[in-house]
Structure 1
C-alpha cells in the first residue's frame, strides 16, 4: 500500500505529540545540546579573538620586520640600518594604517632598593599610537611626550614590585652594542594597566632616542611594526612587504610567528573545544537514540498492524525517520536561538575569569571573555547534530521495518 507524502507528514506530526512529554524531552535535549555547542564555540572564538586583539593591539602589531636572527637572539647589534626607506616603501600598501619603528632589548630596571629584568621598547610616541593602543592604557600619569627624552612608562605590576610611582626615577641598565654595561636614569611619566602579566610586569616603554643612545646604535632600530586595516589583508600584504625588504638582511614575521606562544595557546583551546564538542554530540546522540528506541518499543503493536494492512517496511522506516527529523528541526531551531541568545548576552556583559585571573593573565588572554561566534561554527554544529542524530535514528527505524506483523500484534 502506497501512502501519499502528506499522509506521512500528518501521521508523523500526530505520532510526535501522542507522547508530548517524551517529544518535549527530546526537543529539550537537542536545544540544550546545540545551544551548549554554540555557546562553547562562542566562548572559544571570543577568547581567541580577545587574545589576537590583545597581542596585536598591545604589543606585536600584525607584521614585524627585523634583522635576520634578531627574533631569536635579541642581539643589540642586529639592527635595521635603513628604517626610513623601509617605512616609506611599506607605507605604499593600501591596507597599512599604522607603522612604527622600535628599539627592543632586555634590560635590568630598578631603584636603590629593588630591581627586576624587563623588556625595554623604545618607541616614537607619534608612530606608536597608530600601531598599538598602549596610550589608552595609562591609568596614572601621562603618555610619553613628543620629543621626549629619558621618559619611561611602567606596567602597574612592575611599578608595584619596584615600589615606584609617577614622578619617581628608575635606573635602566643594559649591555650596549659594544658589550659595555651602560645605564640611564629615567623619569616615570606614566603607569599603565593592560590586564596581561606579560605587559604589566615585563614590558616598559621609553622614548626611542634615549633607547638608541643607551644601546649605542645611532639611528638604527630593532624592528618595524605594521598594523593593517584588516587581518584578512595579510595574504596580499606579505608578498608586498617581502618584495620591499632585502630578504638577505631582514626577515618578515606575522604576529603569530613573533609570539608563537599565543598561537599555541589558541590552538590548544581549539583542540579542547573540539574534544568537548565530540563528547557533547555523543551524549546528545545517545539520548535521541534511546528516545526513538523507546518510541518504537511502545508502538510495536501499532507498527505490526500497519505492516499487516499493507504498509511496506521501507515506508515504516521512512515514517520513523521523518518523526525523528521533525523533532530535530524543532530542537535545532530553538537550540540556535538559545545558543545565539547566550552568546549575545555574554558578548555584552562578558565572562570574568576571576577564578583563574593569574593563570590566564600570563599570556594575552583577557581577564574578561566577551563571547562571539563565527557563522561557520554554528553551521558546523548544526550539520554535525543532523548527521549524527540521523545516523543513530537509523537503527530503531530499521528495527521497526523488520518487525514480524503477527508477532508484533500479539506481543504482550
Structure 2
C-alpha cells in the first residue's frame, strides 16, 4: 500500500531514493522560461538522448573518412550496423536475439507481417482487432483484407467496450476470440491502446487465438520500453513497433519486428523477399532464388538506414544500463502517485479512463474531460507542461520512468490545482 503525500517534500524524498534519477541527465529537455518543461509526452515522442549528437558526428566522420568502405571499416560497420540492436531489443520484448530485428518503420512492418500471417481461406478469413485502434492499424488491416478479396465489414471483427465503459474487459476479448472459432485467421491488437492506455493480457489473448487455430500478433508501439513482455514464452507469433516513443529514437525513427522462431526458422513461412533478408553468406553472389536468413532478419528488405538508426543506438545504450523490470517498478509507483494527486483535484471536470489496476496499464493516464478539456490543455502548455491532446476531449499524460521524476508529477499537479478555466 502506497502512503503517498500531496506535497513537494514527499515528491523530492522519493526522487532522493530513486536509482533511476541520474538517467534524467542523459536527456535534453525542452525549455520554458529558462527551466525544463514538465515533459509528459514520451508516449508520443521521447526526449533526445544527449549522446545522439556525438554518435551522429562519429558516423559523419566515418562517412567522410571511408566513403563506401565505411560499410566494413567504420567504427560500427554499416554492413552489420543493425545487428547489435537485437541484443537490446530481445531483452525489452522477452525474446531470443534471432527473433527480433530493427528495420523499416511501423506501418511498413505491419504490412509485411500481415502478408505473412494473415493468410485467409474461404472458411478461415476473419481478423480480430480492437475498435478505435490507431488509424494506421485500421488502414493496414482494412487494405490487407481488401487485397485478399474480402469485405472489411464482414472479415474484420472489432472489439468494443461495453456500454458506458471505456476499456475492454479481458473476458470479453477472450469470448470474442472463442466465438469466432474456425472462421478466425488472425488476431492483431495494439498491445497498449494509444487512446486509453489499456495494457491487454497478451499471454491469454495469444493462448485463446491458438486454441481456435488462429495466428496472433500485436502492435507494440505503446508497449515497447513501457511494459514488460515475454513474447517468446507467450508464443506470440509476430509483433512490430516504432522506436520514437518510449524508446527515444527520434521522429520517424527506425521500427522493428518480432517473429517467433517457430515461423522465423521455417523457410516455408511466406515472407516478401528482399536483398537484405537473404542468407548473408550468399547475399553478394547476386543469384536468383531467395534463401531466407535465419529468424526475423529474413523479413529485412534493404540495408540498414544508418543515419535513421543512430539515435536508436543512443537510446538502446541507455536501456542496456538498466532493465525493463527496474523501469516498470518505478513506473508503477510514479503512475500511481500521479493518479493519487489527480484524484485530489475537485475543480476540474474529468475522469481517468485508463484502467485503475496497475497490471492493466503502463505509464500513460488518459484524462477525459466533460468540458473545457482544450482550455485546460492550452493552459498547461502555457505553464510549461508538454502533454498530448486527443479528440474529442482527452489529455494524455505519460510520466516516463526513464527521465521523469516524482517532482515532475507534483509540479504537474500544482499547475492543475491552480488553473482557473
Is TM-score (shorter-chain normalized) higher than 0.5? Answer: no
Q: Write 1 or 2 for the structure with the bigger share of strand.
A: 1
Q: Write 1 or 2 for the structure with the bigger share of helix.
A: 1
Q: Which has the larger radius of gyration?
A: 1
Higher relative contact order (CA 8 A, sep 6+): 1
